[in-house]
């Protein structure tokens, strides 16, 4: 038995409080706690009689609180609740039904039974019209009527409360609920259903509506609202509603979930593409290095037509190298860190990747402004521009490339941000499609061509970098997408160049070079290139190289592959650093583009030089010469490794681009010449 919370503030009231205990007979099931009842009655005898009568009720047990005035009742109700109020209409501080008004105002859902010494039909009618559940004459209290009346009022109110509770649950249910009968009449609609369908309750119940799905199995539906599409997972079950066979459709809004799933799927796809790109780059670069080196050597030995053919072959090989290098944009592990990116180089790479989509549809022109360094994530920004370029190409029908144009324009905005426009002369975007452009899953392309996620993801990417993406389009004339990006100070560029500075004098003597690479083709090529000027020792593993160094062999340069089986170049370097620290600065690393995250970090932090495969003949020669010369300088003055520091791309870029330079990209040309030469 739970005692009522005591109104400790009012001792007088507490003194009057009486608990009437009447345990129900064992065969009566009480599912609820005892019912608290407030009796407001100034006549002590009448109050006692009421309490005795309540005590005789067998089906409900009451906790009775008795007060004598309306003021006391109000005070008690401000801190307590009860299931029933019994109100005498003749109280010292109120007359007639005013008391009822006050109680109803204070506790609208608690039922009130009024009792009066002078009850007639008029009083009874006005009492019930003011919300009293029952009106009983005092002389009737002393009979069965009162007891059954009390039980009825309490049971009815409990049922009503139960219904309110269920209704609140249905209304608050985050899933949309609609009940229709078998002829399509809408019987019930909850709040969320009006939200999901974007229709008012009235509009929904006016519809002749049915739902058809396999019972209990979720099926996907899409609601088109004025503010966009919502995807719902609908389940339909049969239920009885007001005695009729009906159907309940429960619809869960899964729009955000689907959008996330779609983005995950896409980034999964990009991740696998990245892995593939990395391994392809690695596999291609080694044989490519051999081709390049041999072609370059042959170029020095031949003349005439054969020389032209070889020059074309070299150009084609360099182009393969560029393509493989571009693929690396996608092989970086997924990171959201912002770096300083050389925008024009990135755009050039993306343009090369997209050229296959573009070349049959339009000429591609770049107009680059002077500002070039942006704060962005290289992989993700490439994804955005690739997407915009492919979209631009697809907006132009194939076959009329000469008369169509895609322009990629960069400029510096007045607010200091860097703006990239991707402009096409395609079909344009119809006005009513324009406002849905960035909506996830909205696509005008067929299922095979588009997921409808490209622009949604692009916008998300640009916005996470603190940028903006927008577009202007005129149907029939073309579309211009504009990406605004934060500019970065040009002090440091993350994209590093490994080109050696010019005018490094040849080494004054033959250097001793240790070449460590697991690929015999590479070892042979390097030997070919460097044999003329230096003494070359080639080994196939880091372990053998370590043995040589430990046995006291002295080298000027240790040219080591970065990624080798069993012991990587990084581990090799660490071993040497530990055992022979004076040799560690002699390392020059070779990379084939397959950057593991570890390798990437290593190259970013190490002070040693590195060269990229396929090896460029001149670069390799210069790098080795520079190191041999530096060794001599170090021997004659204080030792320093300064000369080995990498150089900033802006300082030694062999092709500095003038402001607003305009270039045409004609990627097909090189191959055409090559093919002709071969024939």
Partner 1 sequence: MARVELQLYVAGEGLPSRVAIANWAKICDDDLEDECDVEVIDVDKHPPSLVSESFLATPMLVRRLPLPVHRVIGDLSDGDAVLAGLGLARRAEGGP
CB atoms within 10 A of CB 335: 12
Q: Does 145 bind partner 1 (CB under 8 A)?
A: no
Interface with partner 1 in residues 240-279 (CB under 8 A): 247, 249
Nearer to partner 1, 9 or 264 (CB): 264
CA-to-CA distance for 478 and 480, rounded, in angstroms?
A: 7
- DSSP-derived letter for residue 161 is H
C-alpha span between 620 and 628 (Å, rounded)? 12
Closer by beta carbon to partner 1, 131 or else 262: 262
**Which residues are within 8 A (CB) of 342 and not within 5 positions of it... i.e. 6 or more apart?**
372, 373, 493, 495, 649
Q: Which is nearer to partner 1, 259 or 623 (CB)?
A: 259
The least CB distance from residue 166 to partner 1, in Å, is: 25
Q: Mask of contacts with partner 1, 407-446, x by CB under 8 A?
A: -----------------------x-xx-------xxxx-x
Q: Select from 217-225, 275-283, 410-418, 653-661 the region that touches partner 1 (CB under 8 A).
A: 217-225
Nearer to partner 1, 171 or 244 (CB): 244
Among 184, 370, 501, 520, binds partner 1 (CB under 8 A): 184
Stretch that binds partner 1, among 216-224, 273-281, 412-420, 629-637 (CB under 8 A): 216-224
> What is the C-alpha separation between 222 and 78, in angstroms, rounded?
49
Pick from 49, 75, 221, 521 the residue near partner 1 by CB under 8 A: 221
**Binding flag, residue 220, partner 1 (CB under 8 A):** yes
- Please report how close the Cβ of residue 237 comes to partner 1 at its closest, in angstroms: 11
Least separation in angstroms between CB 460 and partner 1? 21
Nearer to partner 1, 120 or 256 (CB): 256
CA dist 194 and 428 (Å) reads 35
214 or 489: CB nearest partner 1? 214
Candidates 137-145, 211-219, 537-545, 616-624: pick the segment binding partner 1 (CB under 8 A): 211-219
CB atoms within 10 A of CB 262: 17
Here the contacts of 657-660 (C-beta below 8 Å, separation 24 or greater) are 657/344, 657/368, 659/368, 659/369, 659/370, 660/367, 660/368, 660/369, 660/370
411, 371 in Cβ contact below 8 A?
A: yes
Q: Which of residues 566-585 bind partner 1 (CB under 8 A)?
A: none
Q: Is 236 in the site for partner 1 (CB under 8 A)?
A: yes
Distance of closest approach, residue 180 Cβ to partner 1, in angstroms: 9
Measuring CA to CA, how many Å separate 638 from each of 126, 447, 510, 580?
111, 67, 22, 19
Calculated CA dihedral for residues 518, 520, 523, 528, nearest 10 degrees:
-170
Among 90, 219, 267, 524, binds partner 1 (CB under 8 A): 219
* Residue 210 beta carbon to partner 1: minimum distance, rounded to whole angstroms: 3
Give 166's strand partners. Answer: none
Q: For the CB of residue 204, give the shortest distance to partner 1 in the complex, in Å.
A: 9
Q: What distance in Å separates the CA atoms of residue 383 and residue 277, rounded to the nearest whole number?
A: 14
The reply to whether 142 sits near partner 1 by the rule CB under 8 A is no
Q: Does 223 bind partner 1 (CB under 8 A)?
A: yes
Residue closer to partner 1 by CB (options 139, 435) is 435
* Per-residue x/- track, 191-210, partner 1 (CB under 8 A): ------x-x---x---xxxx
Q: Nearest 10 degrees: CA dihedral of 296, 300, 301, 307?
A: 70
Between 4 and 213, name the residue whose CB sits nearer to partner 1.
Answer: 213
Query: How many C-beta atoms lie closer than 10 Å to residue 67's C-beta?
Result: 25
The least CB distance from residue 393 to partner 1, in Å, is 21
Residues near partner 1 (CB under 8 A), total = 38
Stretch that binds partner 1, among 73-81, 228-236, 342-350, 658-666 (CB under 8 A): 228-236
- Phi, psi at 225, each rounded to 5°: -105, 170
Environment class of residue 298 by beta-carbon count within 10 Å: exposed (0-12), middle (13-18) or buried (19+)? middle
Is residue 365 packed enough to be buried (19+ CB in 10 Å), middle (13-18) or exposed (0-12)?
A: middle
Torsion angle, alpha carbons of 182, 184, 188, 190, to 10? 120
| Closer to partner 1 by Cβ: residue 221 or 634 | 221
The answer to whether 78 contacts partner 1 (rule: CB under 8 A) is: no
How far apart, in Å, are the Cα atoms of 101 and each of 76, 81, 127? 17, 17, 10
Q: Check residue 355 for interaction with partner 1 (CB under 8 A).
A: no
* Rg, the chain, Cα only: 43
Looking at the Cβ atoms of 35 and 453, the one nearer to partner 1 is 453
Compare residues 69 and 443 and give the one whose CB is closer to partner 1: 443
Query: Please, which residue, 215 or 642, has the CB nearer to partner 1?
Result: 215
Question: Which residue's CB is nearer to partner 1, number 231 or number 624?
Answer: 231
The one among 17, 80, 229, 363 contacting partner 1 by CB under 8 A: 229
CA separation for the pair 105, 87 (Å, rounded): 14
Rounded distance, CA 169 to CA 163, Å?
Answer: 10
349 CB-contact burial (10 Å; exposed 0-12 / middle 13-18 / buried 19+): buried
**From the list 30, 148, 182, 645, which residue makes contact with partner 1 (rule: CB under 8 A)?**
182
Pick from 224, 306, 356, 666: which binds partner 1 (CB under 8 A)? 224
Measured between its terminal Cα atoms, the distance across the chain in Å is 104
Q: Is 163 or 220 the residue whose CB approaches partner 1 more closely?
A: 220
Nearest to 596 by CA among 558, 644, 559, 564: 564
Least distance between partner 1 and beta carbon 266 (Å): 16
Peptide bond before residue 614 is cis, with ω within 30 degrees of 0 = yes
Span near partner 1 by CB under 8 A; candidates 75-83, 103-111, 230-238, 458-466: 230-238
Which of 49, 151, 213, 270: binder of partner 1 (CB under 8 A)? Answer: 213
Residue 232 vs 569, nearer CB to partner 1: 232
Q: Can you give the binding site for partner 1, defined by CB under 8 A?
A: 182-184, 197, 199, 203, 207-215, 217, 219-224, 229, 232, 234, 236, 247, 249, 430, 432-433, 441-444, 446-447, 452
């Amino acid at each position: 038995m739970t005692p009522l919370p005591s109104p400790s503030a009012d001792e007088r009231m507490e003194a009057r409080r009486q608990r009437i205990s009447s345990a129900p007979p064992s065969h009566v099931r009480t599912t609820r706690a005892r019912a608290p009842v407030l009796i407001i009655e100034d006549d002590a005898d009448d109050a006692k009689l009421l309490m005795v009568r309540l005590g005789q009720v067998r089906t409900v047990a009451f906790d009775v609180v008795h007060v004598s005035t309306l003021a006391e009742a109000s005070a008690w109700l401000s801190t307590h609740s009860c299931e029933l109020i019994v109100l005498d209409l003749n109280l010292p501080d109120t007359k007639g039904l005013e008391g009822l008004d006050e109680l109803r105002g204070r506790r609208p859902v608690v039922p009130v039974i009024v009792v009066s010494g002078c009850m007639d039909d008029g009083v009874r009618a006005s009492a019930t019209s003011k919300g009293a559940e029952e009106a009983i004459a005092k002389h009737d209290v002393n009979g069965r009527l009162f007891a059954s009346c009390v039980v009825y009022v309490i049971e009815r109110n409990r049922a009503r409360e139960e219904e309110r509770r269920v209704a609140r649950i249905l209304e608050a249910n985050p899933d949309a609920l609609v009940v229709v009968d078998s002829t399509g009449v809408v019987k019930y609609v909850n709040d969320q259903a009006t939200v999901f369908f974007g229709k008012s309750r009235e509009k929904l119940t006016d519809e002749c509506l049915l739902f058809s799905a396999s019972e209990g199995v979720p099926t996907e539906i899409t609601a088109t609202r004025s503010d966009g599409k919502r995807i719902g997972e609908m389940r339909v079950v049969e239920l009885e509603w007001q005695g009729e066979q009906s159907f309940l459709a429960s619809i869960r809004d899964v729009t955000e979930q689907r959008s996330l799933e779609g983005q995950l799927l896409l980034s999964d796809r990009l991740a696998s593409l990245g892995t593939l790109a990395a391994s392809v780059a690695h596999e291609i670069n080694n044989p490519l290095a051999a081709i390049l080196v041999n072609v370059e050597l042959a170029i020095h030995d031949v003349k005439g037509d054969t020389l032209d053919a070889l020059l074309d072959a070299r150009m084609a090989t360099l182009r393969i190298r560029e393509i493989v290098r571009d693929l690396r944009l996608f092989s970086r592990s997924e990171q959201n860190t912002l770096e300083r990116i050389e925008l024009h180089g990135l755009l050039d790479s993306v343009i090369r990747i997209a050229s296959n989509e573009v070349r049959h549809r339009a000429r591609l022109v770049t107009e680059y402004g002077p500002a070039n360094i942006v704060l962005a994530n290289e992989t993700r920004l490439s994804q955005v521009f690739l997407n915009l370029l492919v979209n631009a190409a697809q907006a132009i029908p194939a076959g009329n490339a000469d008369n169509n144009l895609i322009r990629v324009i960069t400029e510096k905005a007045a607010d200091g941000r860097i703006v990239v426009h991707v402009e096409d002369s395609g079909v344009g975007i119809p006005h009513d499609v324009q406002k849905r452009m960035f909506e996830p899953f909205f696509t005008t392309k067929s299922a095979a061509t588009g997921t409808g996620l490209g622009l949604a993801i692009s916008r998300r990417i640009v916005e996470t970098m603190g940028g903006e993406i927008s577009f202007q389009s005129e149907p029939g004339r073309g579309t211009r997408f504009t990406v605004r990006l934060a500019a970065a100070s040009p002090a440091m560029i993350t994209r590093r160049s490994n080109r050696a500075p010019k005018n490094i004098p040849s080494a004054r003597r033959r250097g001793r070079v240790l070449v460590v690479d697991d690929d015999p083709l590479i070892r042979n090529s390097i030997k070919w290139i460097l044999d003329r000027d230096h003494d070359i020792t080639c080994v196939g593993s880091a372990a053998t190289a370590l043995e040589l160094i430990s046995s006291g062999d002295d080298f000027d340069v240790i040219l080591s592959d970065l990624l080798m089986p069993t012991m990587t170049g990084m581990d090799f370097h660490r071993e040497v650093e530990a055992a022979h620290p004076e040799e560690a600065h002699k390392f020059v690393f070779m990379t084939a583009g397959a950057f593991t995250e570890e390798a990437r970090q290593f190259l970013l932090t190490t002070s040693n030089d590195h060269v990229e495969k396929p090896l460029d003949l001149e670069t390799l020669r210069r790098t080795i010469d520079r190191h041999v010369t530096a060794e001599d300088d170090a021997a004659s003055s204080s030792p320093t490794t300064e000369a080995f520091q990498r150089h900033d791309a802006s300082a030694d870029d062999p092709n500095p681009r003038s402001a607003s330079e305009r270039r045409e990209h004609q990627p097909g040309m090189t191959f055409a010449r090559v093919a002709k030469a071969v024939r």
